[in-house]
Amino acid sequence: MHFNAALFVAAASVALVQAADYRLLYTLPANTDTVTFAVEFGNACATWAPALSSGATFEAFNVEAGDYQGKNTATEVLIDCVFTASGAQTAYTTDVAASLGATPASD
């Protein structure tokens, strides 16, 4: 758990320097809290096989509790999962979130 928490903090910090805003609003899976989801999302993102097998390099992930106004912190998250290949950023957020059972939320 210490490694997972350290990875979460490090990746979340790196995500703050991204130029583009890739965050998407998702509803947490049933019976999952924000911290558990953040660890699972970070681990899944950093090791996302389709991205790695394409030669992309993991850049960052971000998990923020709540929506764009900071509401619904127990049920919604703003997330992103970004890789870089040939200098271009690609987000795998949708695929990683779906693999964990998270669903897109309306704004």
E strand or H helix at 61: strand 57-65
What per-residue confidence (pLDDT) applies to 93?
98
Indicate if the pLDDT at residue 20 is higher than 50. yes
Determine how β-strand 24-27 pairs with β-strand 103-104. antiparallel
Express each pLDDT in 92-102 by its tens digit. 999 999 999 99
Q: Distance between CA 87 and CA 28 in Å, rounded?
A: 32
pLDDT at position 12 is 52
**Mean pLDDT along residues 57-76:** 97
**CA atoms within 13 A of residue 53's CA, in its CB half-sphere:** 3
Sign for the CA dihedral angle at 83, 89, 90, 94 comes to positive
- C-alpha–C-alpha distance, residues 80 and 63, integer Å: 7
* Cα distance between residue 75 and residue 14, in whole Å: 24
Q: How many independent structural domains does the chain possess?
A: 1
Range of the domain at 30: 2-104
